Amino acid sequence: MTITIIGSGKVGASAALNCGLRELDDILLLDIVEGLPQGEAMDINHQLSERGIDCNVYGSNNYQEMEGSEIVVLVAGVGRKPGMTRMDLLKINAGIVSDVAEQVREHAPNSKLVVVTNPLDPMTYVALKKTQFDRTQVIGMGGMLDLSRYKSFISEALNVSRGSVSAMVIGEHGENMLPLFRFSSISGIPLREFLSQQQSQELLDKTKNIAAKVISNKGATTHAPGNAIATIVEAILRDKRSVIPVSAFLEGEFGASNLCIGVPAVIGHGGLERIIELTLNEDEKLLFTKGVSDVQQAIQSIGIA
């Protein structure tokens, strides 16, 4: 099985469907809940069948079945509830991610691991340390999801095609995310040519707050995360060398070390192939550094070094 997704709730199932619709490869859905991954697999296969797609989805409760997987997606954990921040999930999900990461190390030691569980940046760090993988093998999904939201708001504000929007979001996947107005454009035309400083700030604020609104309205974010996961998986399997914002382990880049946080990176068959460092202005540095500090504090609080 090339792709294994651990966690068969709403996001895991959406990721499996999105990977299937892109015809990436066969997919294994794993979950500790008896019947859940099997049921989701059947449902997804029925949709793929009608569309003439020959990728198969399988469901299992046995971690051993992930052996040989090229990519493992870790979605397992408790999801955000209305009124909760991502950091509210820290300690309970650290335990879950630790246990699952040890299973990945045992059964899929050569895989690329895509972490989705919140709080995303600390959980990516936990997964990296517990698997003892090289940093090129472990990627956190958060920035790709934040980017999809930012691009949507830019398109709405300017009434232009979504396909013409190029943007970037870095930093903590949480309260200190950093949508980069200066590095965003419409078909190569800088965004500052279209929006005032006040308008740009409004877009930044909407991007930071929208996840909580979606969760308040429908209970969970599902479709955008599933698509973001599939985008990263596709970049690896098809060696696209896509420039994607992901949570990565830093070794001095952006002035930070020994933590995972969102940065632009080249994603291809080698996983995290290269981090792209940007020259941030003072305001951007301030927010990025605040995110670094919050992630460091979270890592220290769960005692994983």
For residues 73 and 49, the answer to whether their CB atoms sit within 8 Å is no
Of all residues in the chain, what percent carry a pLDDT higher than 70? 97
* Residues 273-302, mean pLDDT to the nearest whole number: 95
Does 81 have pLDDT greater than 80? no
Give 205 or 226, the one with higher predicted confidence: 226
Lowest mean pLDDT among 8-12, 84-88, 265-269: 84-88
Does 36 have pLDDT greater than 80? yes
For residues 76 and 100, the answer to whether their CB atoms sit within 8 Å is yes
The values of phi and psi at residue 2, to 5°, are -75, -40
**Largest Cα–Cα distance of the chain, in whole Å?**
54
Q: For residue range 114-138, what is the model confidence (pLDDT) as tens digits?
A: 999 999 999 999 999 999 999 999 9
Q: For residue range 135-183, what is the model confidence (pLDDT) as tens digits?
A: 999 999 988 888 999 999 999 999 999 999 999 999 999 889 999 999 9
Active site residues: 173
Q: Please state, as a whole number, how many other Cβ atoms lie within 10 Å of the Cβ of residue 49.
A: 11
What is the pLDDT at residue 215?
82
For residues 102 and 130, the answer to whether their CB atoms sit within 8 Å is yes
What SS3 state is found at 271?
Answer: strand
d(CA 207, CA 154): 10
**Bridge partner residues of 245 (DSSP):** 264
Closest CA to 32 of 105, 128, 96, 113: 96
- Set out the domains of the chain in order of their start, with CATH numbers: 3-141 (3.40.50.720), 143-302 (3.90.110.10)
The per-residue pLDDT of the chain, averaged, comes to 93
Instruction: Supply the pTM of this predicted model.
Output: 0.94
Of all residues in the chain, what percent carry a pLDDT higher than 90? 80
d(CA 232, CA 165): 19
Does 91 have pLDDT greater than 70? yes
What is the pLDDT at residue 219?
81
Model confidence at 267, pLDDT cuts 50, 70, 90, reads very high
d(CA 260, CA 253): 11
* Residues 24-34, mean pLDDT to the nearest whole number: 96
DSSP E strands: which ranges in 121-221?
A: 138-140, 165-166, 169-171, 177-179, 185-186, 189-190
Give 201 or 47, the one with higher predicted confidence: 47
For residues 101 and 126, the answer to whether their CB atoms sit within 8 Å is yes
H or E, element range at 149: helix 142-158
* Residues 71-79, mean pLDDT to the nearest whole number: 91
Model confidence at 246, pLDDT cuts 50, 70, 90, reads very high
